[in-house]
Amino acid sequence: MTKPATIHLKDYAPTPFTITEVNLTFELAEDVTVVTSELSFKRQTDATDQVRLNGEALVLKSVFLDGAVLSKSNYTLTDKDLTFIAPSDEFKATIVTEIKPQENTALEGLYKSSGNFCTQCEAEGFRKITYYLDRPDVMARFTTSIIGDGMEYPVMLSNGNLVSDTKLEDGRVKKVWEDPHPKPAYLFALVAGKLACVEDEFVTASGRKVALQIFIELGNEDKCDHAMTSLKKSMKWDEEKYGREYDLDVFMIVAVGDFNMGAMENKGLNIFNSKYVLASSQTATDTDFDGIESVIAHEYFHNWTGNRITCRDWFQLTLKEGLTVFRDQQFSADMNSAAVKRIDDVQRLRAAQFPEDAGPLAHPIQPQSYVEINNFYTATVYEKGAEIIRMMHTLAGPEGFRKGMDIYFDRHDGQAVTTEEFVSAIEAGSGLDLKQFRNWYIQPGTPEIAVEDAYNETSSTYELTFTQKNVKAGEGADPLHIPVAMGLLDEDGNSLLDDDLLHLTKAKQTFTFENIPSKPIPSLFRKFSAPIKITRNPADEKLGLLFRNDSDEFNRWEAGQQLALQGLLADVELYASGQALTGLSNDYTEAFGEILDDQNMDPAFKAEVLTLPSESYIGQQMKIVDVDAIHTVRKVALKSLGKRFETQLKSIYADLKSHNSMGARALKNLCLSYLVASSDDYLPLASEQYFSSENMTDRMASLARLVNSETDHRAEALQNFYDNWKEDQLVLDKWFMLQATSSRSSTMDDVKGLLAHPDFTMLNPNRVRSLIAAFAGANPIHFHNENGGGYQFLADRIIELNSTNPQIAARLVAPLGQWRRHNETRQGLMQAELRRILETENISNDVYEMANKSLSN
């Protein structure tokens, strides 16, 4: 194959011509869709007279310039673009193309989901609809006419406000939508088909009424309450927290079953993966409910951070994504327990972003180059991007940050900008100098921080010395500006110092604290004030004290995790060398018991605190991951905690049974998991909970215990689950996912069997994620089976998906890219599969980039 081209940030240049107005007409039909596009061009630079429009997989029917037909000899057409000479500095082009949405399995551009038309244009999908300057710095006003059979497509939506709805002479219906806000093409959306609508209203702070509409497949009308409530909360919160009002008369959300990602912030017409809209207590878990609240908020918040102010180019992706993730995290923290939210966010960062940043696909939040931009919608751009905004918030303080945001909106409303312009606005609002801080945008890798301390009794002074290093950033990389939120505790766990903020700016730096009466225990990086790893912490010997007493809830949880890790990692070594395990330390176990009995602790927080680190997080602490030892050691630890605290766990379980709150369910189900780990004698209890549960949270939690077992309880419950829920696609995904993540020995064969299940399809991304991504990403012992079967299975699926949905295929490559972290046998097997993937005929840019980088970087 010819190697695909690499795009570089340094090559950015504005387009010679821009587009100011777009008039689109879609004639929808089941066989072919005709798109007529009238574009108003205007010269911006005099670099060239050529106009080069992006276009892919289109059938070009005609081109007119200022009303005159452009003959074939006057334009150049390739499979990627359409080029012609501009007739003047301002002119109109009319372009007619044909597309076949019903054949579009890549789910990018205009496609069909459950018989309904919908679009996904970010990042570069608009070029699969018509020829266009498909890049975010070209912002135009869009008018969209949709023509089609009114019986087939009773609902026809596009961005903005509906301005006319007429019946044509031929009987077809025509609806015209006008979006007054100039926008890049990636925010364009169209939806048409048979959909039900749930309606509500929001009155903005200035008293304008906004119609809120959620469109869903018929029959789902009763599953929109939570999404609607979340939307209204988001609208109110953005007004209160950031002074941002909504700016159209209608805000629409459409839920579709086939969607590559979570959701999309198209102007006034968000399109969602139905997973992030539909929920009832019968079909969705508490985690699903939280996911809906945060994704609805995320897409809504994009209206200001993303749409009103957008990205100059795709290298600036974190400008809108990092910032919007930060905003949705703040929102969820305000709506729920802030400590639990912070713990969840950090766990997600550590689970997905840390490995990415340590592996061959590491990139700064602002990458310098890419082959396929779809591959850069990553945990780094999103989650680490949000951490970098959060650090600016910490450094500026809430008021300084808000001032900076106000300046950002004032300066750049209606523009396509760079991250540099964002940071400048925060500097202007806060008075901070963020020159050094900007390094966070250009350095990949997770910084490692080693800390030493010294206490001087005679002078009552205490010194903390920090050393920062970032191997991925390369030799001679500048040190980062790192905010260290911290406190000090005395030997009895009382606070000596709270809420201090250190600015770590040097490679090695010492901070001195005066008037410290006795040798303190430091509590560092409170609330996880920076996305770093601590490699040496003077508090390591006193984790039990912090676990019991730290006033910062995040660090209290963190101390427990680190203390548990110490025991687990020691056991992993013992196990590997064939020695008897010593188990978790008494320090950990005793604190565990005390916390279990603490009557005053929020049960949701307690459930977090008493959960052992995951297998993958334990693995991250090792140079070479010992998959099997980790699994066994963790299982033994769960079992011993379950046995030791059996009485308390049983009584808490019984007490919480009748409590109807998320926190109570979380803690109750954690108790169940410890009990089942302690002995198979508790499987009947799990089964009983399964059959008596009145909500999906309890049902899933109990089924998750049963699927690892070999008993009849397993088969019975799985069959029951399937029989009850087979019509509900989102619930059925859970059924596939639970089987894919089971620890029992036959799982690989079970998963292969499920590929042939009549309800399995490779065309639906949620289904692919629930079976294949879940197996590869959340079932370490089976995916990494040393017979190589797991790797081969994954590679086969990637090769299969390459031809139907490259975006989803590419997203499955990452687990194989972790080969350097495994033993030689596994390394060889994983590399061989990556090579086999690279030999795929007609390999997409998406898959090529991921597999190639995984092997060579």
Binding-site residue total for ligand TRP (CB under 6 A)?
Answer: 13
Among 261, 346, 662, 768, binds ligand TRP (CB under 6 A): 261
Q: Closer CB to ligand TRP, residue 307 or residue 611?
A: 307
Which range, of 120-128, 142-150, 742-750, 756-764, touches ligand TRP by CB under 6 A? 120-128
DSSP string, 590-626: HHHHHHHH-TTS-HHHHHHHTSPPPHHHHHHTSSS--
Tell me how far, at minimum, the Cβ of 122 lies from ligand TRP, in Å: 5
Positive or negative, the Cα torsion across 468, 473, 475, 477? Answer: negative
Rg of the chain, C-alpha, whole Å:
28
Return phi, psi of residue 32, to 5°.
Answer: -145, 145
Angle between helices 683-692 and 712-725 (to 10 degrees): 20
CA-wise closest residue to 357 among 381, 377, 373, 374: 381
Q: Which helix (H) or strand (E) holds 669?
A: helix 662-678
- For the segment 299-338, give every residue that binds Zn ion (CB under 5 A): 321, 324
> Is 299 one of the binding residues for ligand TRP (CB under 6 A)?
yes
Among 119, 120, 561, 741, binds ligand TRP (CB under 6 A): 120
Tell me how far, at minimum, the Cβ of 658 lies from ligand TRP, in Å: 39
Residue at token pair 């300066």:
411
Active-site positions? 299
Which range, of 190-198, 263-271, 702-710, 769-777, touches ligand TRP by CB under 6 A? 263-271
Q: Closer CB to Zn ion, residue 321 or residue 453?
A: 321
Q: Give every CB contact of residue 294 below 8 A, 6+ residues apart in sequence.
A: 328, 329, 331, 332
Q: Closer CB to Zn ion, residue 419 or residue 673?
A: 419
Instruction: Assign 769 to helix, strand or coil.
Output: helix
Tell me how far, at minimum, the Cβ of 713 lies from Zn ion, in Å: 41
572 interacts with, out of ligand TRP, Zn ion, none, CB within 5 to 8 A per kind: none
Return phi, psi of residue 590, to 5°.
Answer: -65, -45
134 interacts with, out of ligand TRP, Zn ion, none, CB within 5 to 8 A per kind: none
Q: Which helix (H) or strand (E) holds 63?
A: strand 59-65
> Is 272 one of the binding residues for ligand TRP (CB under 6 A)?
no
Return phi, psi of residue 587, to 5°.
Answer: -55, -50
Task: Measure the CA–CA gap between 232 and 224, rounded to whole angstroms.
Answer: 12
Binding-site residue total for Zn ion (CB under 5 A)?
Answer: 2
122 interacts with, out of ligand TRP, Zn ion, none, CB within 5 to 8 A per kind: ligand TRP
> Is 123 one of the binding residues for ligand TRP (CB under 6 A)?
yes
> Is 260 one of the binding residues for ligand TRP (CB under 6 A)?
yes
Q: Closer CB to Zn ion, residue 328 or residue 553?
A: 328
CA-wise closest residue to 467 among 485, 448, 440: 448
Tell me how far, at minimum, the Cβ of 4 lies from ligand TRP, in Å: 18
Tell me how far, at minimum, the Cβ of 260 lies from ligand TRP, in Å: 5
Number of neighbouring beta carbons within 10 Å of residue 136: 23
Tell me how far, at minimum, the Cβ of 328 lies from ligand TRP, in Å: 9
Q: Closer CB to ligand TRP, residue 272 or residue 725?
A: 272
> Is 134 one of the binding residues for ligand TRP (CB under 6 A)?
no
> Is 294 one of the binding residues for ligand TRP (CB under 6 A)?
no
> Is 187 one of the binding residues for ligand TRP (CB under 6 A)?
no
Task: Measure the CA–CA gap between 49 and 31, rounded to whole angstroms.
Answer: 37
> Is 122 one of the binding residues for ligand TRP (CB under 6 A)?
yes
Q: Give every CB contact of residue 240 below 8 A, 6+ residues apart in sequence.
A: none
Among 145, 283, 374, 689, binds ligand TRP (CB under 6 A): 374
Tell me how far, at minimum, the Cβ of 539 lies from Zn ion, in Å: 36
374 interacts with, out of Zn ion, ligand TRP, none, CB within 5 to 8 A per kind: ligand TRP
- For the segment 304-323, give every residue that binds ligand TRP (CB under 6 A): 321
> Is 265 one of the binding residues for ligand TRP (CB under 6 A)?
yes
Tell me how far, at minimum, the Cβ of 261 lies from ligand TRP, in Å: 4
Among 177, 215, 331, 377, binds ligand TRP (CB under 6 A): 377
Tell me how far, at minimum, the Cβ of 832 lies from ligand TRP, in Å: 30
Which range, of 119-127, 536-544, 725-733, 743-751, touches ligand TRP by CB under 6 A? 119-127
Angle between helices 225-242 and 317-335 (to 10 degrees): 110
Query: Alpha carbon 78 to chain centroid distance?
Result: 35
Tell me how far, at minimum, the Cβ of 125 lies from ligand TRP, in Å: 7
Contact 509, 484 (CB under 8 A): no
Q: Closer CB to ligand TRP, residue 108 or residue 558?
A: 108
Q: Give every CB contact of residue 557 below 8 A, 6+ residues apart in sequence.
A: 339, 343, 605, 608, 609
Residue nearest to ligand TRP (CB): 261
> Is 676 one of the binding residues for ligand TRP (CB under 6 A)?
no
DSSP string, 171-240: S-EEEEEEEEEEE-GGG--EEEES-EEEEEEEE-TTS-EEEEEEEE-TT-GGG-HHHHHHHHHHHHHHHH
Which range, of 116-124, 128-136, 220-228, 441-449, touches ligand TRP by CB under 6 A? 116-124
135 interacts with, out of Zn ion, ligand TRP, none, CB within 5 to 8 A per kind: none
Angle between helices 338-348 and 553-576 (to 10 degrees): 40
Tell me the CA distances in angstroms from 63 to 66, 97, 409, 448, one per residue in order: 10, 9, 39, 57
Residues that bind ligand TRP (CB under 6 A): 120, 122-123, 260-261, 263-265, 298-299, 321, 374, 377
Question: In the complex, which residues of this chain contact Zn ion (CB under 5 A)?
Answer: 321, 324
